[in-house]
Amino acid sequence: MRVALGLEYDGRFFEGWQTQPSGRTVQDHLQEAIFKFTGEKVNAVCAGRTDAKVHASGQVVHIDTECERNDFSWVRGLNSYLEPTVAVRWAQYVPESFHARFSAVSRTYQYWISNEPVRSPLLAGRTGWVFRPLDEKKMQEGADYLLGEHDFFQFQ
């Protein structure tokens, strides 16, 4: 059976999504929680990997499992084994043809900037901080170059 999971995490404490020898990634922690919950070693496949220290909200993951639980039990059960900085927000069974990466129809990335004279401790680790006034017109001119469809093949 294939189960899709919606994840949210504070990336400040992780070395990104994809498993690493250190074991300090979101994938490593999720797979360990799944093992504790189901007794199965599975490979969690995600829609898009995040880099070290990057947060995610609404990241979609799928796993293949023999374990049958209701959707609510997947959420509560996995969260009981995850650190407070990671949460499964929802779970649902999906067809075998569903693939977290290849079935995705869009991705959204947000970069937040706090532009204030004094830094906010509540936004630390969640936003960039610039104390000098920003030139929004120049920023928009630069951002306009990013609009449209682009081939990022060389960045793979």
What amino acid positions are annotated as catalytic residues? Answer: 51
Which amino acid would we find at residue 65?
T
All residues at 6 or more sequence positions from 143 whose CB lies less than 8 Å from its CB, including other chains? none
Cα(81)–Cα(93) distance, integer angstroms: 20
In DSSP terms, 56 is beta-bridged to: 9
Residues 80, 83, 87, 91: is their CA dihedral positive or negative? negative
**Residue 92 tokens, joined:** 């649902």
